[in-house]
Amino acid sequence: MEFETPPTIPLWRTAVKRGKGTQIPRIEASARRVSGDADAYAQVCGLPRTDVLPACFPDLLCRGLQLSVLTDPAFPIGLMGIVHARQRIEQRRAIRRDEPLSGRSWVEGHVVTRHGGEFDLHSEVCSGGEPVWHGVTTISSRDLPGDGVKRDRPEPPTFVPGRSAAWSLPADLGRRYAKVSGDVNPIHQYAWTAKLFGFKRAIIHGWWTLSRCLAEMDLAPGGLDVQASFVAPVMLPSTAWFASGPIAAGQAFEVRAVGKLALHGVVRRA
């Protein structure tokens, strides 16, 4: 699929329940121009306004392309209730706010897990035809058949905290972020909508949490390689605790909520 700008996908299309599939085909969407409201994004994520885009913001620029891929008739998975499991970001350099950008997103195949499957949603942003940002979002879904086999999770890095912060997350934060990002998954909206998918309360978006982590680390603009794993949901409302510290290959970080590890990751200079 090719677009001039990313399309707006109606909410009803994201709510369509598809039949279970055995394999995800190659589906790709691209747009000649992508843009977004960096000020609104910075405000909801608690970020300072700068001349360069936040490291997680390019994913938002591709949201319409991602939804075009995930709501394509050939895509066999329903979007309601899917969970952000892991994230990889490769940013080659700082991206200025005034740069004309293009984008594309694609998906193909999946891996079987204990209770379903995981698939990688790729997004790429280019400036002047040159790729400057690539994100790989690993998503977990129970619409795919699982194999019942328990697997080890990636071990979080060991580090001595050099920075820490407490975040007070209000009940409406998921709805506020959804207005900016276009991610209206019901698990992030209200307690009653989240309960439909097995959560006790609404949970905050993984992208919000990761973006807030990178802001806390006060990284200088430039190339970055970020890897993060989402271990447990951060409920709304709640207080979450952030910590980061140096390791041999870069900076490690984590978020805890209700005494449990919710997210851990590593950021390196590219």
Residue 15 φ then ψ, to 5°: -90, -5
Mean pLDDT check: name the lowest of 55-64, 114-123, 142-151. Answer: 142-151
Q: What pTM does this model have? A: 0.88
Residue 87 has pLDDT above 60, yes or no: yes
Residue 81 has pLDDT above 70, yes or no: no
Q: Which fold has domain 2-269?
A: Thiol Ester Dehydrase; Chain A (3.10.129)
Residues 170-217: pLDDT tens digits? 999 999 999 898 877 788 889 998 888 888 899 999 999 999 999 998
**pLDDT, position 12:** 58
b or e along 94-121 (b: 16 or more beta carbons within 10 Å of the residue's beta carbon)?
A: bbeeeeebbbbbbbeebeebeebbbbbb
Query: Hey, is 45 helix, strand or coil?
Result: helix
The residue extents of the domains of the chain are: 2-269
Residues 7-48: pLDDT tens digits? 887 665 666 656 555 678 899 999 999 999 999 999 999 888
Cα distance between the two ends of the chain: 31
Residue 147 has pLDDT above 80, yes or no: no
The pLDDT mean for the chain works out to: 88
